Amino acid sequence: MNITVIGTGYVGLVTGACIAEMGNTVFCVDVDPAKIDGLKNGVLPIYEPGLEDIVVENHASGRLRFTTELAEAVEESDVFFIAVGTPPGEDGSADLSHVLEVARQIGSLITRPAIVVNKSTVPVGTADRVRRTVCDALEARGLKLEISVVSNPEFLKEGAAVQDFMQPDRIVIGANDERARQVMAELYAPFVRNRPRTLFMGVRDAEMTKYAANAMLATKISFMNEIASLCERLEVDVENVRIGIGSDQRIGYHFIYAGCGYGGSCFPKDVKALISIAHQSDFEPKVLQAVEARNELQKQSLFQKISRRFDDELRGRTFAVWGLSFKPGTDDMREAPSLVLIRSLIAAGARVKAFDPVARDTARRELPAQWLDEGLVQLADGQYEAAIDADALVLVTEWKPFRHPDFKALKRLLKAPLIFDGRNQYDPLQIKREGFEYYGIGRQPVYA
């Protein structure tokens, strides 16, 4: 097939590259000339394991093409994936302006029947708006063509997006006509050869499925963080509780790790958007509101522990922060707990020496330039460099190199053997044997 993907962010670039990997010809379109020039030269705008190889290889083969001109792709394509951003507005609702502008452009350019696929995360009813927008643009040109709008939400985990696309748990396709269902089934057939994993449903059902999936995962995280806060007051180790409840197959072990809050481009945005959708439907989403509120509180948990430990006297102190991205395997810092912690530490008069294996460049964009210029935040070249003369080590993101560090080296480098573990990566008994003072999430402090 000849496919066009509009938008070259996480979703668009992974979608385009993986579809091209299966032998299709794919045009990736983006309005940012610098991004397109970079992609043509093998420079990706994001870090995602395995993505660079398939982008470079498929571009070299001619199957994956990059352009800023949608008109260049329209002549050869019958299927158009919309994968542009839907940033939250002030009320949390999804901003559909980019999606609808792409729909308008498609309608202003196509000359034959087309299938338009919403890959962006959009509210229920968006497919109807996209179809109206395309048809209005066609009518303005005096054309009437058969237009199918499909909802095909993505379920990609940052850090494992390529694997998730190539070996999906499920492929959700919301389509209201047989032609669209057949084309989408044919497109995805190479990805599901070993067993059926394609779920066909109505368009509105598919739109809701995406929001419900992310909200459910966010709910599990916030629930466990609430339990963790209670565990701290009852002298209970939440890690033992996690193992105890995770062994129940009805619950399982996924997404029940207590920590310093969730972040990223999906969970925070989608929970807020679903709350907004509920309010627009005259419904009070009490559980969703509690999920969001708990997460906002959880992002403050590390700072609160640090502040209590130092009796609110943080001015002039330096803290080593391990991990800046919102999760391992990505350089994405959107809504990252590290940002909340760093802002709070700087506001309290402290300094930060931070290290992240891949998010250094992202941090330079996300953090205020003044902090970097004045040395309030230093971006270290290595994890142990960040620890030199720091008053404490704070683990925020559980990258693999942080999981089994050289505690003897840390003890020499830090001003005091003190660790705040925002992901419960370390065994408190081992930490005590190594001579450290330790504070986790939902656990009792350990004193050297």
Q: Which residues are catalytic?
A: 266
DSSP labels for 150-167?
A: EE----PPTTSHHHHHHS
Q: How far apart are CA 197 and CA 53, in angstroms?
A: 26
Q: How far, in Å, are 31, 83, 400 from residue 321 at the CA level?
A: 36, 34, 15
Task: Read off the tokens for 83.
Answer: 């994968």
Q: Which residue has the tokens 């498929």?
A: 58
Secondary structure of residue 341 in the 3-state scheme? helix
Q: How far apart are CA 272 and CA 335, in angstroms?
A: 13
Q: Which residues is 446 bridged to in the sheet? A: 438
Interhelix angle 301-309/337-347, rounded to 10 degrees, is: 30
Interhelix angle 238-246/203-234, rounded to 10 degrees, is: 140
Contacts of residue 204, defined as CB under 8 A and 6 or more positions apart, other chains included, come to 124, 125, 127, 151, 174
Q: How far apart are CA 43 and CA 126, in angstroms?
A: 33
